[in-house]
Amino acid sequence: MTQQEADEAQNWRGMDGSTAYQLIERHANNWDEIGLMMNAWLRANRTVNPDCATQPTPN
């Protein structure tokens, strides 16, 4: 499984962690695939706060 395949394995965005865990446990064939799918879920559900990204850090 490649990173792209893991990203496309499920519609990860908005999926809660317990559902992702059950799907990963059911469909991953080995520890490498578990890691790829867990990271795909994390990437899909990570949000960036645009306010923090554009404003300088106060001193």
Residues 42, 50: Cα–Cα separation, whole Å: 18
pLDDT digits (tens, 9 = 90+) for 26-44: 999 999 999 999 999 999 9
The mean pLDDT value of the chain amounts to: 85
**Considering its fold, how many domains does the chain have in total?**
1
Closest alpha carbon to 1 in 41, 28, 39? 28
Q: Where are the alpha helices (DSSP H) in the chain?
A: 3-9, 17-27, 31-45, 50-54
Q: What is the pLDDT of residue 12?
A: 92
Confidence of residue 51 (pLDDT cuts 50, 70, 90): low
Examine residue 41 and state whether it is found in any structural domain, yes or no: yes
Q: Is pTM beyond 0.85 here?
A: no
**Does any domain span residue 59?**
no
| Residue 14, domain extent | 3-54
